[in-house]
Structure 1
Amino acid sequence: MFSHFSKYTRPEPKRSALVTIDLQNDFVLPGASAEGVGAARAATMTGRMVQFYREHDLPIIHVVRVYSAKDNAIKVDVSRREAIENGLQLVLSGTEGMQPVAEIIPEGVVADGEFLLTGEPQFISKNEQILYKPRWGCFYETQLDVMLRERGVTTAVIAGTWFANCVRTTIYEATARDYRTVALRDAIAGIHPDGEADLAKIQCGVCDCSDWLELVEHF
């Protein structure tokens, strides 16, 4: 599937990590404050990927947004800062809206917003963690790069919401750090043909979840 990629960009399935982005109740659940088209489907498909990665003992990192009502001038990006100051309830620490959706998180696990705001990862298991990001990209002022390299990861497999903002930014940040990248088309809300064409220009692989699962199984 990626035979046309160079030896530096061709994905390495057995050295991959699944990175889920902003699949939280406030962004996904019907009627939520920032629900968008395609988010629910992305969550469902990502849930299948998460289960597969758990079964195969491959790393999973759930990257989330957490806004703090205590010092929102620091913890909220500028495009939403005024709205939060004016009372918008969106991924606020300690709320259900901040929690990762049920499809991707083990039953009974609760993301600790105040702890995550320290920048430290919250461990779910030895291979699965939750990590807070302060801005669009998952690598910006986070430990993600260190976490991946410590596990020998060469390939970042990306799922989540939304393509135009956090997903695309993260992919470019990953390639800037020499990671091989894969975007899971049916697990990314808002992805579109022009966006896929842009990713092809930087040799980011784009495929459906089923194609990637088959590749991992037979690699």
Structure 2
Amino acid sequence: MAQKPALLIIDMQNDFASAHAVLPVAGAQAVITPLTQLLSLFRGKHLPVFHIVRVHEPDGSDVEWFRADLFKDKPFAVRGSHSAAVIDELTPVPGEHLIEKVRMSAFIGTTLDLMLRTLGVNIVVVGGIQTPNCIRTTVFDAMAFNYETILVDDATGAQTKEIHEANVLDMKNIGVKILHAADVGPWLDSR
């Protein structure tokens, strides 16, 4: 079977990753440069790119129960708002896909799996924020859906280096390939 990768960029939105974020994720700023490198690489090779964004209804009716109070105090990622949009540095271009989600995994309640299969994608390359939550759940679901899964270590971030590294080790232990952004180009060329 021919191998076809796609890039999944998770939650790199104004509310989480911009300089004026409502709920800033520690480590988000550090992953912008590696993500722009990956994005350029995938665009240059005309490979599929998916921007996965968390969005919520303005009334918070689709927010997880454990984040309901937080949302009441600081509404975040409200559908249609500038805050929910992808940060300027990674703005999608025509031909790239934007997938909205309301849970941590990019696969839960979305069309991501259907779209990947329709495009003939069987390898996902994952980056974004944050490692123990949306990255990890997306990666585990990708493995469960039988996608070869690549985590780009320096293009993912978490609250602390220790949290990030512990979660990367867990993902590596289930068979996820761990690469650095600089290694993705040579890896793609070897396919």
State the TM-score, normalizing by the size of structure 2: 0.90
What is the match of residue 117 of structure 2? Answer: 149
How many residue pairs get aligned? The number is: 186
Deviation, structure 1 residue 52: 1.2
What SS class does the counterpart of residue 151 from structure 2 fall into?
A: strand
| Correspondence for 1:105 among 84, 91, 97 | 91
Amino acid at match of 2:56: Y
Aligned equivalents of 1:194, 1:88: Cα separation in 2 = 29
Contact 1:23 1:160 in 2 (8 A): yes
What is the match of residue 60 of structure 2? Answer: 72
Contact 2:106 2:138 in 1 (8 A): yes
| Cα displacement string for residues 43-87 of structure 1 (whole angstroms, at most 9, x for unaligned residues) | 221122112111111000101011211x422x2222222222x34
Deviation, structure 1 residue 31: 4.1
Gaps (5+ residues) in structure 1?
1-11, 110-123
Contact 2:57 2:79 in 1 (8 A): yes
Query: Percent of aligned positions with the same letter in both sequences?
Result: 30
Deviation, structure 1 residue 192: 2.8
What SS class does the counterpart of residue 141 from structure 1 fall into?
A: coil
Deviation, structure 1 residue 218: 3.6
Amino acid at match of 1:46: L
Contact 1:162 1:188 in 2 (8 A): yes
| Correspondence for 2:100 among 125, 132, 142 | 132
What is the match of residue 214 of structure 1? Answer: 186
Deviation, structure 1 residue 194: 2.1
Q: CA-atom RMSD, angstroms?
A: 1.7
Deviation, structure 1 residue 89: 2.9
Aligned equivalents of 1:155, 1:146: Cα separation in 2 = 14
State the TM-score, normalizing by the size of structure 1: 0.79
Aligned equivalents of 1:133, 1:43: Cα separation in 2 = 21
Aligned equivalents of 2:24, 2:170: Cα separation in 1 = 25
Contact 1:139 1:170 in 2 (8 A): yes
What is the match of residue 94 of structure 1? Answer: 80
What is the match of residue 197 of structure 1? Answer: 169
Which structure: larger Rg? 1
